[in-house]
């Protein structure tokens, strides 16, 4: 792509010249909308309507996913895991319906507001929050919108909503139509939100006919809506003629078809009843005979949806497909796979999961300590006004929020107490039985009672592929009481496309310094400190106990960059640092996890609990960095030397 650069109003601007090949430019645009890239990145900073515009320009169709808020707290934990899993497929956005009966704007972990906030902040998903206006006061609506903005939500689906009960009653000082809500959002929040409105391909059930309803849609768009998502429909031609009619009356914004893969007989009947739609005869004729065969209906639903979507995509007027998931994964993913739209892109824009909060769009460096607990890191830094961009050293005095409530729902373990006890031991008999839990976690082998250790208090997931590179060494040291909770191998310039350690845009090179973080006994630490003298200045260390006694050889408390990447035409990115100041905040959290997540599984005063308590009270948390990244990682040698020293016979008195 050849850019022509011109001075405009005293600043230099770049614009594509004619010599840029169309296909080439398409590809590069596709690149950037798929993988948000580090640094001051246009796509990461873009608002949703801009992302859509770029995907439309490059002819790159997208998909999006609709979810409804869960009813229970454990439902919320499950839904958030589903967000993470379905996020891998690359949705352009998700949306969360507004559930008037479920206190949707509240701080409850199951509210529409909190679920949407979690999706944005903790799962890094571009999200749309639905908002209905009927039966609500203006003040209420403004309060919801202000809260949404504060939480980092940037997109609203403006709906009228269904009246509570049978009769329609206008709220005093409220709104009767979605158009009023759109106007209100634009009036009160200017251009802050991207606004979506609903379209009805077969007409709104309460409107005076199809054409009257089209007019209402035009009014909603004219009032400031950015794009349209339609109600579900069963025939591609229904949608295509609707779009044609919309264009004819001057609706020019994107119109996204709402796709409903039939997943079961009951859910179909229920939805049809709610939406007052008629299921076409040819569909009912297939379904009725197999209505008791869930698998058969689902298969049919997938096939029917795939065929309809193909027609939609081939029409050339559909930029993206919107799926009503019913909070289920299988059918939607199947349809997307068959359409070739589900693309699990192993590329990571940064080594850690990015938050989608607009305040964090420039964030590109974090302390390594929270590598396995990114949601906790995001939670504890949610009140920061600025995020470090490029240098951690700039954020001179990071103030981490307290993490007193270990039961914050998005930090909850996916495992039940029983499952945890099976993995970590119903009864601990010694420190060694704790060593064994750590070792079994590393080896992914079943423990004596036949259960695999799939997580630890510091790691909610099995070992990362990258950590697997160190598996043999980790097993060896954990067996002897070097209880590792975080580590990375050294990397000396692997391609950024490397499936295990790569991240960032293509064509770059990634680097790492070897890192090892573990709990260990004070006896071990005494020997370790002697050994570490031999490794000056190659190895930096920070060693701290729960009381905060801290030993380090780091000069003037500067951060140490341990992961960095070099990319074509960009500044250096150094996304993870070992920061001595943040380490003191992390150690509080790391030590507390012994008690909150593990000790409390056991009765007070029980031997098991006292063993964990003893470790908490007496062990040290150690981190080691091998600065000589081009050489072989020396940290294992450091540990070996420590054991050799411990094993050596005491020196004779002179």
Interface with a copy of itself by CB under 8 A: which residues?
1-7, 11-14, 17, 28, 39-40, 42, 389-394, 397, 492-493, 507, 509, 511, 529, 537-538, 540, 548, 550-561, 564, 566-572, 574, 577, 580-581, 584, 625, 627-630
Pair 279, 234: CB distance under 8 Å: yes
- For residue 43, the minimal CB distance to a copy of itself (Å) is 10
Residue 457: which of 226, 615, 604 has the closest Cα?
615
Q: Which two tokens stand for residue 183?
A: 């106007």
CB atoms within 10 A of CB 316: 8
- For residue 288, the minimal CB distance to a copy of itself (Å) is 56
CB atoms within 10 A of CB 289: 10
Residue among 481 and 559 whose Cβ is closer to a copy of itself = 559
- For residue 351, the minimal CB distance to a copy of itself (Å) is 14
**How far apart, in whole angstroms, are the C-alpha atoms of residue 559 and residue 570?**
22
Angle, helix 330-339 to helix 294-314, in steps of 10 degrees = 40
Catalytic option among 27, 50, 66, 171: 66
Distance, CA of 267 to chain centre: 29
- For residue 572, the minimal CB distance to a copy of itself (Å) is 5
Whether 66 is a known active-site residue: answer yes
Residue 91: which of 65, 116, 117, 130 has the closest Cα?
65
Pair 508, 495: CB distance under 8 Å: yes
Q: Which two tokens stand for residue 621?
A: 């948390």
Q: Which two tokens stand for residue 254?
A: 């994107």
Pair 347, 502: CB distance under 8 Å: yes
- For residue 381, the minimal CB distance to a copy of itself (Å) is 17
Residue among 39 and 481 whose Cβ is closer to a copy of itself = 39
Q: What are phi and psi of 232, to 5 degrees?
A: -65, 160
SS3 content of the chain, % helix, strand, coil (to 5): 40, 20, 40
Pair 627, 513: CB distance under 8 Å: yes
Residue among 477 and 561 whose Cβ is closer to a copy of itself = 561
- For residue 192, the minimal CB distance to a copy of itself (Å) is 22
- SS3 category, 464: coil
Residue among 499 and 548 whose Cβ is closer to a copy of itself = 548
Residue among 7 and 273 whose Cβ is closer to a copy of itself = 7
Q: What are phi and psi of 649, to 5 degrees?
A: -65, 145
Q: Which two tokens stand for residue 184?
A: 């209100």
Residue among 290 and 581 whose Cβ is closer to a copy of itself = 581
Residue among 6 and 404 whose Cβ is closer to a copy of itself = 6
Q: 514 has which bridge partners?
A: 626
Beta strands 620-626 and 514-520 are antiparallel
Pair 393, 387: CB distance under 8 Å: no
Distance, CA of 386 to chain centre: 20
CA distances from 247 to 217, 225, 240, 242, 532 (A): 11, 15, 11, 9, 72
- For residue 583, the minimal CB distance to a copy of itself (Å) is 9
- For residue 304, the minimal CB distance to a copy of itself (Å) is 42
CB atoms within 10 A of CB 542: 23
Residue among 26 and 390 whose Cβ is closer to a copy of itself = 390
Catalytic residues: 66
């Amino acid at each position: 792509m050849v850019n022509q650069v011109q001075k405009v109003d005293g600043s230099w601007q770049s614009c594509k010249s004619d010599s840029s090949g169309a296909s080439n430019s398409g590809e590069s645009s596709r690149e950037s909308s798929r993988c948000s890239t580090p640094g001051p990145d246009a796509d990461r900073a873009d608002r949703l309507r801009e992302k859509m515009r770029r995907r439309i320009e490059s002819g790159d169709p997208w998909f999006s996913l609709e979810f409804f808020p869960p009813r229970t707290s454990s439902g919320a934990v499950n839904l958030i895991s589903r967000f993470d899993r379905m996020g891998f497929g690359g949705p352009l956005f998700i949306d969360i319906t507004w559930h008037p009966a479920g206190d949707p704007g509240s701080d409850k972990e199951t509210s529409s507001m909190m679920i949407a906030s979690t999706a944005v902040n903790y799962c890094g998903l571009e999200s749309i929050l639905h908002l209905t206006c009927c039966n609500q006061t203006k003040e209420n609506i403004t309060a919801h919108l202000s809260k949404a903005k504060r939480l980092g939500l940037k997109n609203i689906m403006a709906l009228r909503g269904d009246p509570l009960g049978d009769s329609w009653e206008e709220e005093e000082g409220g709104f009767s139509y979605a158009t009023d809500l759109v106007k209100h959002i634009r009036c009160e929040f200017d251009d802050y939100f991207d606004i979506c409105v609903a379209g009805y391909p077969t007409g709104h059930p309460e409107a005076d006919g199809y054409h009257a309803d089209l007019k209402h849609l035009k009014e909603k768009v004219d009032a400031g809506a950015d794009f349209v998502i339609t109600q579900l429909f069963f025939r591609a031609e229904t949608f295509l003629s609707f779009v044609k009619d919309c264009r004819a009356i001057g609706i020019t914004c994107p119109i996204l078809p709402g796709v409903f893969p039939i997943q079961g007989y009951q859910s179909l009947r229920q939805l049809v009843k709610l939406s007052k739609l008629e299921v076409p005869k040819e569909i009912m004729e297939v379904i009725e005979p197999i209505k008791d065969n869930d698998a058969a209906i689902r298969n049919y639903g997938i096939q029917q949806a795939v065929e309809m979507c193909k027609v939609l995509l081939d029409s050339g007027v559909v930029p993206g497909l919107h799926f009503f998931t019913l909070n289920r994964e299988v059918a939607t993913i199947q349809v997307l796979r068959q359409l070739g739209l589900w693309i699990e892109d192993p590329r990571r824009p940064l080594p850690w999961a990015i938050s989608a909060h607009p305040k964090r769009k420039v964030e590109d460096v974090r302390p390594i300590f929270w590598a396995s607990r990114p949601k906790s890191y995001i939670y504890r830094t949610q009140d920061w006004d600025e995020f470090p961009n490029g240098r951690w050293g700039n954020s001179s005095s990071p103030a981490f929020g307290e993490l007193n409530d270990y039961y914050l729902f998005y930090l909850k373990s996916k495992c039940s107490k029983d499952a945890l006890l099976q993995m970590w031991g119903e009864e601990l008999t010694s420190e060694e039985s704790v060593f064994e839990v750590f070792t079994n976690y590393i080896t992914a082998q079943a423990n004596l009672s036949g259960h695999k250790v799939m997580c630890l208090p510091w790691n909610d997931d099995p070992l990362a592929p990258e950590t697997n590179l160190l598996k043999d060494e980790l097993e060896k040291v954990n067996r002897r009481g070097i209880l590792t909770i975080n580590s990375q191998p050294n990397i000396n310039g692997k391609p950024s496309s490397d499936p295990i350690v790569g991240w960032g845009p293509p064509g770059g090179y990634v680097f790492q310094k070897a890192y090892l973080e573990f709990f260990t006994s004070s006896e071990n630490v005494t020997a370790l400190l002697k050994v570490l003298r031999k490794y000056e200045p190659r190895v930096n260390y920070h060693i701290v106990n729960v009381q905060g006694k801290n030993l380090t050889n780091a000069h003037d408390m500067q951060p140490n960059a341990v992961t960095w990447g070099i990319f074509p035409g960009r500044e250096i990115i150094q996304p993870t640092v070992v920061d001595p100041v943040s380490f003191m905040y992390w150690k509080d959290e790391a030590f507390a996890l012994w008690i909150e997540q593990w000790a409390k599984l056991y009765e007070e005063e029980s031997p098991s609990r006292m063993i964990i308590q003893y470790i908490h009270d007496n062990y040290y948390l150690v981190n080691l960095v091998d600065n000589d990244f081009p050489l072989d990682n020396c940290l294992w040698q450091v540990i070996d030397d420590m054991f050799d020293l411990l094993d050596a016979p005491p020196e004779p008195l002179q």
